[in-house]
Amino acid sequence: DIYRAVVDEKPVALIRMRHFVRGSNLHCIHLVNFRETLIWKELHHPYMLPLLGIDRHCRFPNY
């Protein structure tokens, strides 16, 4: 899911990763997401937004 938001008066995109697994498979998915995040953090391209950070505690409503 992708949401629009504002941080420090700048428009940003929030990406919510939804997972439909539990247990040890969920841990593996978190590791894969973490690795992808590290790669995204280093990417710089005019058509890509920079990665500002990760929030594992915020919960968005399910629509």
Identify residue 11 by its one-letter amino acid code. P
pLDDT in tens, 19-46: 677 667 777 887 888 888 888 888 889 9
Q: What is the CA radius of gyration of the chain?
A: 13
In a domain, 54, yes or no: no
In a domain, 38, yes or no: yes
In a domain, 26, yes or no: yes
Bridge partners of 7, per DSSP, are 10
- Tell me the whole-structure pTM to 2 decimals: 0.52
Measured distance CA(4)–CA(20) in Å, rounded: 24
Residues 6+ apart with CB under 8 A from 3: 13, 14, 15, 16, 60
Domain count, the chain: 1
Residue 13, domain extent: 2-42
In a domain, 50, yes or no: no
